[in-house]
Amino acid sequence: MARKTIRTIPQERAVMSVQDPEVRSKNFDEVSHGFDLENAMLECERCLMCPEPACIAGCPVSIDIPGFIAKMLEKDHRGAYDLLTDSTQLPAVCGRVCPQEDQCEGVCAVGVGTDLEPVAIGRLERFLGDMAIEKGWQKTSHIVANRFRVAIVGSGPAGMACAADLAKAGCSVTIYEALHAPGGVLRYGIPEFRLPNTVVDAEIANLKALGVEFQCNILVGRLFTIEQMLDDMGFDAVFIGVGAGTPHFMDIPGENLNGVLSANELLTRCNLMHAGEFPKYDTPLGLGRRVAVIGSGNTAMDAMRVSLRLGAEEVHCVYRRSEVECPARREELHHAQEEGVTFHWLTNPVELLGDADNNVRSIRCIQMELGEPDASGRRRPVPVAGSEFDFDADTVVYAIGTSPNPILGQTSHIGLNKWGYIDTDDSLATSLAGVYAGGDIVTGAATVIQAMGAGRKAADSIRRYLGIRS
């Protein structure tokens, strides 16, 4: 068969249906429906099967992308799924939430230097992940049990990926989670309309099927320490994947007014505690009618789109840089724009103003312009003198980043770096023997796939540490 070229492949991406913005901004159903079989197969046709695939290098966990697409083209979906899951534990999740434009798709030969859209790698991955959930596929390579017991702290993507690999290697694995439900950010952060809980539940069920035990309501550090897990509780190794967590505020006047909260709080109330269904569920939400969200990353987008769905009449995004620098996934930004969020680029809040009852009523902003590049290479936003203006907001949500959760640092002798994140070497070993760490608590806020990759890498190091042959 002749090699495909840019000119011979279907020029347009295969169609994937999405909910109409008018309709979806009022419900929590998933925004994108995913490919059907026919369109998935059409999209596979667009892959050039590059001999030196850039996409693989672009994926943080080096998924054999042309490999799984080739199997799909042979209609061997099961084979494609197995190949996919050689590298990723969470295809249905990452297919949905990876920032593909910065990773696999960003370097795909179809999109680079052309005006074509790259192969929709993420959507194909999601297709296979969903098919596996629907058909109940499990990769049950025969597990040979060993005598090792490993504890995982935190049930986010890092913890789950580490648990899966160690369970497959024969270890008895227990995941400890502080909240009453597992999943980490996948559960309490990313909303249903981007990542349905049924998908998270399916991934958790897969882990349980591998023999992984989940123990929720366990705050490690306080109920028992990392050291106690090794010394008294009989664990041979520990993996820490507790996420970053602790939200930042700006320290401007008015921040403690009522109606001012972090995106983490808003999303936790809504996603984990079902505050949107108050009073059927007991947790209140207290969302106003005019919501302003500060920041424009994925967390900000989620907070804005959740607010719309919970009935806010106006949702404003305030971001001090320009649209070009917006760190969110492109798709989320576009979806938010379609759903009616108003964006104030190059705008920075300087003060929050309240009423006599200490409720926030408006937000004072200053216009910014882009100056010289800063350490991150992005042009630094600088305030334009005298450009202050106010607009009304009765809810103000901060989504400007997080710092490391302090609990394990407070309660153990584990080495931290100067920012308070857990210090590790290249193998993800921490300063405590037998204790490994990965995900946001090591790197700072990053992505699901990076956390998952770190979990797998740590599992590999733990296997070597315990002397388990692969």
Ligand X SMILES: Cc1cc2nc3c(=O)[nH]c(=O)nc-3n(C[C@H](O)[C@H](O)[C@H](O)COP(=O)(O)OP(=O)(O)OC[C@H]3O[C@@H](n4cnc5c(N)ncnc54)[C@H](O)[C@@H]3O)c2cc1C
Query: Residue 434: which of ligand X, other proteins, ligand SF4, none does it interact with, CB under 5 to 8 A by kind?
Result: none
Partnered with residue 366 across adjacent β-strands are 348
Query: Residue 249: which of ligand X, ligand SF4, other proteins, none does it interact with, CB under 5 to 8 A by kind?
Result: other proteins
Which DSSP category does 44 fall into? H
Distances (CA, A) of 157 to 10, 154, 202, 218, 342: 35, 9, 13, 18, 32
The interface mask with ligand SF4, positions 75-104, x = CB under 6 A, is: -------------x-----xx--x-x--xx
User: Residue 39 — φ and ψ, nearest 5°?
Assistant: -70, -30
Residues from 121 through 180 that contact ligand SF4 (CB under 6 A):
121-122, 125
Q: How far apart are CA 341 and CA 224, in angstroms?
A: 45
Nearer to ligand SF4, 103 or 430 (CB): 103
The interface mask with other proteins, positions 391-430, x = CB under 8 A, is: -------x------xxx--x--------------------
Q: At what angle do helices 37-44 and 121-135 cross, to 10 degrees?
A: 140
Among residues 14, 72, 92, 119, the one that binds ligand SF4 under rule CB under 6 A: 119
* Nearest-approach distance from CB 104 to ligand X, in angstroms: 12
279 binds other proteins (CB under 8 A): yes
Query: Residue 283: which of ligand SF4, ligand X, other proteins, none does it interact with, CB under 5 to 8 A by kind?
Result: other proteins
Judged by CB under 8 A, the stretch of 61-69, 79-87, 253-261, 388-396 that binds other proteins is 253-261
Element (H, E) at 451: helix 448-466
Write the DSSP assignment of 187-204 as a string of letters: HHTS-TTTS-HHHHHHHH
444 binds other proteins (CB under 8 A): no
* Token code pair at residue 379: 């042009």
Among residues 139, 197, 278, 378, the one that binds other proteins under rule CB under 8 A: 278
Q: How far apart are CA 120 and CA 140, in angstroms?
A: 28
Let me know: does 16 contact 123? Beta carbons within 8 Å. yes
* Nearest-approach distance from CB 350 to ligand X, in angstroms: 25
298 binds ligand SF4 (CB under 6 A): no
Nearer to ligand SF4, 125 or 192 (CB): 125
Residues from 123 through 152 that contact other proteins (CB under 8 A):
none
Q: How far apart are CA 125 and CA 65, in angstroms?
A: 9
Residue with tokens 């947790």: 283
Q: How far apart are CA 187 and CA 184, in angstroms?
A: 6
Judged by CB under 8 A, the stretch of 88-96, 218-226, 300-308, 436-444 that binds other proteins is 218-226
Q: At what angle do helices 197-209 and 121-135 cross, to 10 degrees?
A: 60
* Nearest-approach distance from CB 439 to ligand X, in angstroms: 2
User: Residue 352 — φ and ψ, nearest 5°?
Assistant: -110, 135
47 binds ligand SF4 (CB under 6 A): yes
* Nearest-approach distance from CB 187 to ligand X, in angstroms: 7
Nearer to other proteins, 148 or 176 (CB): 176
* Nearest-approach distance from CB 331 to ligand X, in angstroms: 9
- Centroid of chain to Cα 411: 27
CA-atom Rg of the chain in angstroms: 23
Residue with tokens 């419900």: 27
Query: Residue 122: which of ligand X, other proteins, ligand SF4, none does it interact with, CB under 5 to 8 A by kind?
Result: ligand SF4
Give me the residues that bind ligand X (CB under 6 A), please.
Answer: 97-99, 153-159, 176-179, 184-185, 189-190, 218-221, 241-243, 267, 298-299, 302, 329, 405, 407-408, 439-441, 445-449, 451
What is the identity of the amino acid at 18?
V
Nearer to ligand X, 59 or 98 (CB): 98
E strand map for 216-318: 237-240, 260-262, 290-294, 314-318
Q: How far apart are CA 126 and CA 80, in angstroms?
A: 12
54 binds ligand SF4 (CB under 6 A): yes
* Token code pair at residue 354: 């309240």
* Nearest-approach distance from CB 432 to other proteins, in angstroms: 19
* Nearest-approach distance from CB 459 to other proteins, in angstroms: 24
Residues from 158 through 197 that contact other proteins (CB under 8 A):
178-180, 188
* Token code pair at residue 243: 């996420």
Among residues 256, 387, 417, 427, the one that binds other proteins under rule CB under 8 A: 256
* Token code pair at residue 171: 């270890």
Query: Residue 451: which of other proteins, ligand X, ligand SF4, none does it interact with, CB under 5 to 8 A by kind?
Result: ligand X
Q: How far apart are CA 256 and CA 399, in angstroms?
A: 15
| Backbone φ/ψ region at 437: left (φ over 0), alpha (ψ -120 to 50), beta | beta
Report angle CA 83, 469, 77 to the nearest 5 degrees.
10
Nearer to other proteins, 275 or 363 (CB): 275
Residues of this chain that bind ligand SF4 (CB under 6 A): 47-50, 53-55, 59, 61, 63, 65-66, 88, 94-95, 98, 100, 103-104, 108-110, 119, 121-122, 125, 449
